[in-house]
Structure 1
């Protein structure tokens, strides 16, 4: 056998390796962009009310994508549009409201990221009634280990943050809303719709919800300041186009349990980012909580979902 033959990997193995590398790269970019969303909201919240920020983030994102959604891709059917509007209400309006309000009320940015990244546990709770899939014992153990890490980290925060106790429940509600949208999207035939079309519909439908909330909060007109505009652009192009596109792309290439488990990696990035930009304190308790949560990630990500007959 020639040296060239020895050096060439089997085609099937090479294809699997490329697929694995692609998934890892997508997941790494997802972690960075997902963390950017928390930082963007934290930055913009110093210059405008929360729902005004979410309104203009969603509206600008949807309007930028609208020409592409109308001119490219398959023809939009009413049933598909209606389903994406439901996902927009859950994954956009519900999830974003939960963590943004928590940050606006003073819950530390990194801790908010950690709480919202309890998605594997939320997916575990909702997988059976929605997908008919019961998680393995290993996945349950990993999810609860991740949850234990959240309690370790948040115990320190409760002592140093002057925040109402119920505010810590806001990101939990947002997480359950996103988990529900994730599982509904996974079981639906709408997966064939291009990401830019689904994201456009979801952003515009969420902006309608945020418009009503922003009006009640004080108004819908944008704040005419460079920092507000910069924060919105950051949230549009990095935290929306980047994070949500990568999220749905990863969801189509992998399982909900793995994708949501990977998002546990965003809290360390968010905490360090918030410390550098806003001087938010770090602690050994938060570091210990992160390590415990990361251990839960490994368990959940390496476990396989059992196969059930349809």
Structure 2
């Protein structure tokens, strides 16, 4: 059962990057994100009025505003950069690898920002993770240079990753435990408002007639959001944040292979080596002995939207 949950989580979460690539061929990032979150916000809003009403009791306006801020960072800001990077030609595997370094970066920053203990092993893991990202990114940039992908496009996913890190710290400062159903509803409603406003302001609200667009939207809602998000919380509650963070590093190789097979994205020896270094990074951190002040053992998980 544990293996099936882990496999399902990795596949569904990775499908978000593939869905973004699938939609990029028929519409811009803002259009895709608007039509992804409008139906989600409507469905979850209806569920909040009926099925999950009890989960909202006792929450204050401050709690909801904090969740809106977390959603703005971990979902709206992050996904916009991911989709825009893929639209610019950055491979889905490279984008997934940058995303996967978020637990390491958050753990490393916990020391200077929150005055928490950060072990030498965690710093080693972070350095390995960064090395893997650099190797894969440079390999991807070399392979796509002839396609006109500009070098600065590879900095876009890093902005999104830092947005996730910021969301982790905002969530970590909250003393109120928010039910996953409430967090998901607030995050999706926030994103629906943000992306609808952006789409209307830029004249990108009208969906294209291309059937591939609606296939991508269905893919993102069904597989990435409900499948990935649901399994994320199930694995988190059963096996803890350390296991979830370890599985996050499997997203990059799975996405890279998936993207190579489905979209013929570059996957050469340098890419494989960079992904292997990334996996080694999480192995170093995941096998570190527990410490009473170690943020890896008690860091609260931010509610993240599958890609």
TM-score, reference length from structure 1: 0.84
Instruction: State yes or no: 1:185 paired with 2:200.
Output: no
Instruction: State yes or no: 1:231 paired with 2:212.
Output: no
Using the TM superposition, give the Cα deviation of residue 187 of structure 1 relative to its aligned residue in structure 2, in angstroms. Answer: 4.5
Checking the alignment, whether the CA contact within 8 Å between 1:121 and 1:147 is kept in structure 2 is no
Extract unaligned runs of 5+ from structure 2.
295-307
Matches within 5 A, 1:197-212: 197-212=182-197
- In structure 2, what is the Cα distance between the partners aligned to 1:233 and 1:177? 26
Checking the alignment, whether the CA contact within 8 Å between 1:90 and 1:177 is kept in structure 2 is yes
Using the TM superposition, give the Cα deviation of residue 224 of structure 1 relative to its aligned residue in structure 2, in angstroms. Answer: 3.4
1:247 to 217, 227, 232: 232
List per-residue Cα deviations over 1:199-251 (Å, max 9, x = no partner).
Answer: 01101101211122222332213223322111111101211122233334444
- In structure 2, what is the Cα distance between the partners aligned to 1:269 and 1:277? 12
Checking the alignment, whether the CA contact within 8 Å between 2:95 and 2:157 is kept in structure 1 is yes
Partner-residue secondary structure (3-state), 1:29: helix
Q: Hey, what does 1:10 align to over in structure 2?
A: none
Using the TM superposition, give the Cα deviation of residue 305 of structure 1 relative to its aligned residue in structure 2, in angstroms. Answer: 4.9
Matches within 5 A, 1:62-211: 62-71=41-50, 72=52, 73-76=54-57, 77=59, 78-128=61-111, 131-161=114-144, 162-191=148-177, 193-211=178-196
2:15 to 36, 43, 50: 36
- In structure 2, what is the Cα distance between the partners aligned to 1:126 and 1:215? 37
Checking the alignment, whether the CA contact within 8 Å between 2:67 and 2:186 is kept in structure 1 is yes
CA RMSD of aligned residues (A): 2.4
- In structure 2, what is the Cα distance between the partners aligned to 1:37 and 1:117? 13
TM-score, reference length from structure 2: 0.85
List per-residue Cα deviations over 1:117-175 (Å, max 9, x = no partner).
Answer: 11123212432356542321111111211211111112211212232222111111111
- In structure 2, what is the Cα distance between the partners aligned to 1:278 and 1:52? 21
Checking the alignment, whether the CA contact within 8 Å between 1:136 and 1:304 is kept in structure 2 is no
1:54 to 16, 33, 47: 33
1:95–1:249 distance in 2 versus 1, CA, 3 Å: farther
Greater Cα offset, 219-228 or 243-252: 243-252
Checking the alignment, whether the CA contact within 8 Å between 2:108 and 2:123 is kept in structure 1 is no
Checking the alignment, whether the CA contact within 8 Å between 2:55 and 2:182 is kept in structure 1 is no
Using the TM superposition, give the Cα deviation of residue 275 of structure 1 relative to its aligned residue in structure 2, in angstroms. Answer: 1.5
1:29–1:250 distance in 2 versus 1, CA, 3 Å: same
Greater Cα offset, 270-279 or 244-253: 244-253
- In structure 2, what is the Cα distance between the partners aligned to 1:135 and 1:257? 15
Aligned residues: 288
Instruction: State yes or no: 1:298 paired with 2:283.
Output: yes
1:29–1:128 distance in 2 versus 1, CA, 3 Å: farther
Extract unaligned runs of 5+ from structure 1.
1-20
- In structure 1, what is the Cα distance between the partners aligned to 2:112 and 2:195? 29
